[in-house]
Amino acid sequence: METLAFQSEARQLLQLMIHSIYSNKDTFLRELVSNASDALDKLRLESFRDKDMKVDVDDLHIVIESDPAERTLTVRDNGIGMTREDVVRLIGTIAKSGTAEFLRQLKDQQSSTSDLIGQFGIGFYSSFMVADKVTLVTRFPHAEKGVRWESTGESTYTIEDVDDAPQGTSVTLHLKPSDDEDRLPDYTEPAKIREIVKRYSDFITWPVRLGGEEINSRKALWARPASEVTEEEYSEFYRHISHDWNAPLETIRMQAEGTFEYQALLFLPTQAPMDLFMRDGKRGVQLYVKRVFIMDDCAELMPEYLRFVKGVVDAADLSLNVSREILQQDRQIQLMRRRLVKKVLSSIKSLQSSRPDDYAKFWSEVGAALKEGLLSDHDNRDAILEVCSFASTHSEDSLTTLADYVSRMKEGQEHIYFMTGDSRTAVEHSPHMEALRAKGFEVLILTDPIDEMWVDAVPAFDGKPFQSVAKGQVDLETEEEKSANEAKAAEFGDLLTWMASQLEENVKEVRLSSRLTTSPACVVGDAHDITPTLEKMYKAMGQ
């Protein structure tokens, strides 16, 4: 037997669980059932791939057992199990992206701990909210021996090989005493267990058994009539697949019949997933074939810019051992993806008109990701532009849609003016803004790094071209102003030539400007030059 130490981040999280003030402790059971369900999904998939695997997959299930006398509760599955290395890596450390961020926020103490636990999704460690010792026994199909892991959740755990472990994993919780100050409910009581499973895990596709009875209905939510599914059921399902503890902002259902049948159940989040802007961030759509889980993170069904959309697509006409390669080439899949994207965008659009406050919050969470679609998804560019919001000189504290900008355009104004920059203040103090301000033209203030990119790629909205106020000649002059300016340019010709020769090393050209009202001079980019912010970005990337 070996005694090993938890990695320090894992230790921090465990302490949090042990001393958790999180009020809803029942959820530990949901986490264990959810892990068991994932393990069964993985075993079944593996058996599709590896026909020679000598594992019985005919009766995959989850069993819950309790022993009131010993005060133990066991959740057992005959799924994929774990090797010794898996146990050390998966249970002894925290590999999940977002953890570091989570712990940092915790240090900041800005939000209460229970809120943060809620956002993080707590997994296996949540056992320690209700148990003072946890024993896990597991065996991976190809491993000769099983592994026994045990810990009280304080800094170390023990791990040893065992000869007689059955296929899969069992997790036994040694429950805290019931007179504990937490006043825990009696989790060994069948009625309590049944109630929790029903509430949180009813839709789990594998049988969950208690005392020989199956206690979950196993009904896939997306296959049930929409009118029969409650909000609460959607929320629990969303939590199961997204690991986000907030309720979803919007639930989207889709159904297609005919030659290529499928059902989709998708969710928009209330809050950005922690890994939204991380390199290894996941997409959120799972693929099922006739109720059978096939894969997570299905890139073929949802483009990267919609990676915050979570949910399930269940296609009736695919083979159970469909691979990513096949999906990439399948024309039906491409059609399906196109329809899913349109549906998501139209749902955001209706959110915008029917629940403006929720939309505003949603936009502030995921808008920067959504705008990536302006570059990558030409077909839906207009639909994406319609659901975008931008800061603008029109209002200090609320964003504007492009449609609203256009409705406020002045007579004779042909362009949608914008300026990119690091911050609102930087943009507002830029000399480039002076003439537009003097003329009373509204200017969009674009401060996300992605804005630098899409403004070069997207020519117009609703027939109105986008125009940077910092580039080329901003055409603000009337005919008389133009001829007056030309006369002036002739008058100052010599001065301009002299200045240009003095500044030869630094500028391409020196010309008279009509865009300034109070500043004496400003530097402008050529129409096709990259902007200073973009230049900084390229430099930062080492180009």
User: Which residue's CB is nearer to Mg ion, number 121 or number 431?
Assistant: 121
292's CB contacts (< 8 A; 6+ apart) are 44, 205, 320
Among 18, 53, 57, 90, binds ligand ADP (CB under 6 A): 90
User: DSSP string of 252-314?
Assistant: EEEEE-SSS-EEEEEEE-SS--TTTTSTTPPPEEEEEETTEEEESS-TTTS-GGGTT-EEEEE
Q: How far is the CB of 75 from ligand ADP (least distance, A)?
A: 8
Asked if residue 121 binds Mg ion (CB under 5 A), the reply is no
| Nearest distance in Å: CB 296, Mg ion | 12
Can you list the positions of beta strands (E) in 111-199? 131-139, 146-151, 156-162, 168-175
Q: Where are the alpha helices (DSSP H) in 330-446?
A: 331-354, 356-370, 373-376, 381-387, 402-407, 424-428, 433-439
User: Of 339, 340, 348, 346, nearest to 250 (Cα)?
Assistant: 348
Least distance in Å: CB of 121 to Mg ion? Answer: 8
Stretch that binds ligand ADP, among 76-84, 101-109, 376-384, 475-483 (CB under 6 A): 76-84
For tokens 């005694």, what's the residue?
3
HEC string for 13-58 = HHHHHHCCCCCCCCHHHHHHHHHHHHHHHHHHHHHHHCCCCCCCCC
Compare residues 90 and 210 and give the one whose CB is closer to ligand ADP: 90
**Tokens 């010794």 found at:** 84
Q: How far is CA 167 from CA 12, 46, 124, 142, 164, in A?
A: 32, 14, 19, 10, 10
State the nearest-atom distance from the C-beta of 133 to ligand ADP, in Å: 17
Can residue 533 be called a binding residue for ligand ADP (CB under 6 A)? no
* Interface characters, 108-147, with ligand ADP (x: CB under 6 A): ---------------xx-----------------------
User: Under 8 Å CB-to-CB from 479, ≥6 apart: which residues?
Assistant: none
Contact 128, 175 (CB under 8 A): no
Tokens of 134: 């946890």
Query: Binding to Mg ion (CB under 5 A): which residues in 302-321?
Result: none
* Comparison of 79 and 123: residue with beta carbon closer to Mg ion: 123
Q: How far is the CB of 87 from ligand ADP (least distance, A)?
A: 8
Q: With respect to ligand ADP, which residue has the nearer C-beta, 150 or 330?
A: 150
79 part of the interface to ligand ADP, by CB under 6 A: yes
- Token pair for residue 508? 């391409």
Please identify, among the stretches 116-124, 213-221, 440-448, 458-466, the one whose residues bind Mg ion according to the rule CB under 5 A: 116-124
10 vs 15: CA distance, rounded Å: 9
Q: Which of 248, 275, 12, 280 is nearest to 122 (CA)?
A: 12
Residues 386 and 403 sit within 8 Å (Cβ to Cβ) = yes
Minimum distance of Mg ion from residue 126's CB (angstroms):
9
Listed residue (222, 184, 216) closest to 200, CA to CA: 216
- Identity of the residue, 90 or 453, whose beta carbon is nearer to ligand ADP in the bound complex: 90
Among 92, 123, 303, 311, which residue interacts with Mg ion (rule: CB under 5 A)?
123
| Residue nearer to Mg ion on the CB measure, 123 or 168 | 123
Q: How far is the CB of 32 from Mg ion (least distance, A)?
A: 8
381 binds ligand ADP (CB under 6 A): no
Q: 389, 367 in Cβ contact below 8 A?
A: yes
CA distances from 412 to 439, 442, 472, 479 (A): 12, 13, 20, 13
Question: Minimum CB separation from ligand ADP for residue 23, in Å?
Answer: 20
Provide, rounded to whole angstroms, the least separation between the CB of residue 92 and ligand ADP.
10
Task: Decide which of ligand ADP, Mg ion, none touches 216; Cβ closer than 5 to 8 Å per partner kind.
Answer: none
CB of 43: closest distance to ligand ADP in angstroms?
9
Distance CA 230, CA 274 (A): 27
Q: With respect to ligand ADP, which residue has the nearer C-beta, 238 or 441?
A: 238
Could you give the angle at the alpha carbon of 455 between the alpha carbons of 451 and 459, nearest 5°? Answer: 155
Nearer to ligand ADP among residue 36 and residue 268 (C-beta):
36
Q: State the residue for tokens 């007056």.
A: 484
Interface with ligand ADP (CB under 6 A), residue total 15
Binding status of residue 31 toward ligand ADP by CB under 6 A: yes
Nearer to ligand ADP, 31 or 372 (CB): 31
Which one-letter amino acid corresponds to residue 269? P
Tell which one of 27, 35, 447, 468 touches ligand ADP (CB under 6 A). 35
Q: Name the minimum Å distance from CB 31 to Mg ion.
A: 5
Dihedral in degrees, nearest 10, Cα atoms 344, 347, 349, 355: -140
Nearest to 293 by CA among 62, 37, 75: 37
Q: Which listed option, Mg ion, ligand ADP, none, makes contact with residue 371 (CB within 5 to 8 Å by class)? A: none
Kindly identify the residues of this chain, within the stretch 5-44, that bind Mg ion according to CB under 5 A.
35
Residue closer to ligand ADP (CB basis): 65 or 434? 65
Stretch binding ligand ADP (CB under 6 A), from 73-81, 216-224, 359-367, 394-402: 73-81
Which of 80, 117, 208, 345 lies at the binding interface for ligand ADP (CB under 6 A)?
A: 80
Which candidate, 281, 309, 282, places its Cα nearest to that of 296? Answer: 282
With CA atoms as reference, report the closest residue to 140 among 68, 199, 82, 63: 82
Convert residues 191-230 into a mask of x (bound to ligand ADP by CB under 6 A) and - (unbound): ----------------------------------------
168 touching Mg ion, by CB under 5 A? no
Positions that interact with Mg ion (CB under 5 A):
35, 123
Positions that interact with ligand ADP (CB under 6 A):
31, 35-36, 39, 77, 79-82, 90-91, 123-124, 169, 243
